[in-house]
Amino acid sequence: MKSLRGLRRDPATSALAVLVMALGIGSVTAMFSVVNAVLLRPLAFHEPDALYELRVERCGKSGNSGVDSGDFDKLRGVAGVAGATLAGVSEVTLTGAEGAEYINSQKLVGDGLALFGVRPALGTLPTDPRAVVIGYRLWQRRYRGDAGVVGRAITLNGEPWTIAAVMPERFVLPNRPELWMPWQMTEQDLKRRGEASSNLLLRVKAGMTPVAAAQGALAGNPDLQYRVVPLCRRQLGDPGPTLWVLLGAVGLVLLIACLNAGNLLAARGLARREETAVRAALGARRMQVIGPVLAECGVLTGAAAVLGTALAWLLVCASPLLLPERTPLPRLDQVSIDGFSVLAAFAATAVCVFRPSRRWRFR
C-alpha cells in the first residue's frame, strides 16, 4: 500500500515508465516467440534427425532435376534405409458443396505419410488408392473443423475421392501441401526421369550414413550429382542468423527502455531526496529507506509485464496480417505465446526490475 501511495504522487511518470518498459517486454516476448517456433521447437515428426531429402543435380545445371523411379527402387533396397517416399507437388482443383478452389497437393509413392511416424488427428492413414489425407489448415478453413469429414466424398480434378484422415496442426512439409494423395505412376512415369518438382524423402537407420547409402546405390550416372540434405534444414531453410540478430536487437531495445525508465524514476527520486534525508536523519535503516523504492519498482514492472505480454499476444495474432502471405520464414503460422514465451517475458521483467531499481537506488 505504501508503494501505491508513492506512485499516486506522480501518476504521469509512473504511467510513462510502465509504457516504456511494456514496449520493451512486449517486443522481446514476441520476437522470442518467433525464434522458439521457427528454430527451437522440434519438427512434428518421429525422430526428425533420421529424415533426409535426396537432391539430384545435373552437371552444369543448378536446382533439383527430379528423381528417377529407378533411383527410388535402388534406395529402398539399401540395408541402411528404413523407408523412402517419392513425392511430387501438384495443384489440384477441389470441388464440392463448399465451392471450388485450387489446393497445393502432394502425390506420394512408397511408404507415404507413414514415413514420418505421425498419427493423424482424425482417421487413419489410408491403404485405399482412391483415398486422400487433408491438412489441418484445409480442414479448418474449408470444413470448419467438422469431425465428420472422415469418409466424406470429394472431387479432385473431376474425379471422385474419399477423405481418409486429417493430419495434426503442426504437421507441415516443405512446399506446404494441404492435401496428400497416392501417386498412380504410369508407364511413362516409370521410364522418364521424374518431374523437377518431385523429391525423394528417406529415413535412415541408426548408425547409417545417408550420404554413403546414396552414393553406393546411385553412383551409376556420371552426369548426375546426388546430394542428401537433412529434412530439418530443408524444412526450416537457414533463417537462424537473421532471427538471432533480430532477437539481439530487440534485447537492446529492452535495455534502452529500462535505462529510460530508470532515468524517469531517478528524476522522481531526486525530487524526494529531502524526504529520504529526513528519514535517514531520524534513524531509518538502509532497507527502510530503499525498501519502498524497490516495492514501487516491483509494482511498476509487474504492471509493465502484464501490459507487455498482452502487447506480445496482439503482435503474434496480427503477424499473419502484418507479414506477406508467402513469407520466407517457415512455421510462422505456428507462432504462439506458450510457456517458453512466458518465461522469456519473466526474464525480461527481471531485467526491468533490476535496471530501474538499481539506477534509482544509487542516485
Mean pLDDT of 300-304: 80
Q: Do residues 72 and 206 share a domain?
A: yes
pLDDT in tens, 312-339: 888 888 776 666 555 556 666 677 777 7
Q: Do residues 204 and 250 share a domain?
A: no
Q: Do residues 80 and 31 share a domain?
A: no
Q: Do residues 137 and 104 share a domain?
A: yes
Question: From CA 34, how far away is CA 319, in angstroms rounded?
Answer: 10
C-alpha cell at 313: 499476444
C-alpha cell at 203: 529415413
Average pLDDT, the chain: 75
Q: Do residues 207 and 166 share a domain?
A: yes
Mean pLDDT of 180-204: 67
Instruction: Please report whether residue 233 resides in a domain.
Output: no
Among residues 163, 186, 221, the one where a domain terminates is 221
Q: Do residues 92 and 191 share a domain?
A: yes
Q: Between these two residues, 142 and 216, which has the higher pLDDT value?
A: 142
Q: Between these two residues, 171 and 213, which has the higher pLDDT value?
A: 171
Q: Do 328 and 233 contact (CB within 8 A), yes or no?
A: no
Q: Do residues 157 and 293 share a domain?
A: no
Instruction: Please report whether residue 53 resides in a domain.
Output: no
Among residues 221, 251, 286, the one where a domain terminates is 221
Q: Do residues 202 and 292 share a domain?
A: no
pLDDT of residue 361: 46
Q: Between these two residues, 264 and 231, which has the higher pLDDT value?
A: 231
pLDDT of residue 194: 46
Instruction: Please report whether residue 48 resides in a domain.
Output: no
pLDDT of residue 276: 62
Mean pLDDT of 117-139: 91
Instruction: Please report whether residue 247 resides in a domain.
Output: yes
Q: Do residues 188 and 122 share a domain?
A: yes
Residue 262: count other Cβ atoms within 10 Å of its Cβ.
25
Domain that includes residue 158, residue range? 60-221
pLDDT value at 195 more than 60: no
Q: Between these two residues, 57 and 118, which has the higher pLDDT value?
A: 118
Mapped to the 3 state alphabet, what secondary structure does the chain carry? CHHHHHHHCCHHHHHHHHHHHHHHHHHHHHHHHHHHHHHHCCCCCCCHHHEEEEEEEECCCCCCCCCCHHHHHHHHCCCCEEEEEEEEEEEEEEECCCCCEEEEEEEEEECHHHHHCCCCCEECCCCCCCEEEECHHHHHHHHCCCHHHCCCEEEECCEEEEEEEECCCCCCCCCCCCEEEECCCCHHHHHCCCCCCEEEEEEECCCCCHHHHHHHHHCCCCCEEEEEEEHHHHHHCCCHHHHHHHHHHHHHHHHHHHHHHHHHHHHHHHHCHHHHHHHHHCCCCHHHHHHHHHHHHHHHHHHHHHHHHHHHHHHHHHHHHHCCCCCCCCCHHHCCCCHHHHHHHHHHHHHHHHHHHHHHHCC
Mean pLDDT of 62-69: 57
Instruction: Please report whether residue 227 resides in a domain.
Output: no
pLDDT value at 240 more than 70: no
Instruction: Please report whether residue 308 resides in a domain.
Output: yes
pLDDT of residue 161: 93
Helices 286-322/240-271 angle, 10° precision: 140
Instruction: Please report whether residue 229 resides in a domain.
Output: no
Among residues 221, 253, 268, the one where a domain terminates is 221
**Alpha carbon of 339 to those of 56, 117, 310, 345, 346: distances in Å?**
41, 26, 14, 10, 11
Q: What percent of the chain has pLDDT over 70?
A: 65
Q: Do residues 278 and 306 share a domain?
A: yes
Residue 196 — pLDDT band, cuts 50, 70, 90?
A: very low
Q: Look at the chain and report how many structural domains it folds into.
A: 2
Range name among 126-130, 193-197, 264-268, 329-333 with the lowest pLDDT average = 193-197
Residue 362 — pLDDT band, cuts 50, 70, 90?
A: very low
Q: Do residues 86 and 155 share a domain?
A: yes
Instruction: Please report whether residue 50 resides in a domain.
Output: no
Q: Do residues 199 and 295 share a domain?
A: no
**Claim: this prediction has a pTM higher than 0.85:** no
pLDDT value at 139 more than 90: yes
pLDDT of residue 360: 46
pLDDT value at 346 more than 60: yes
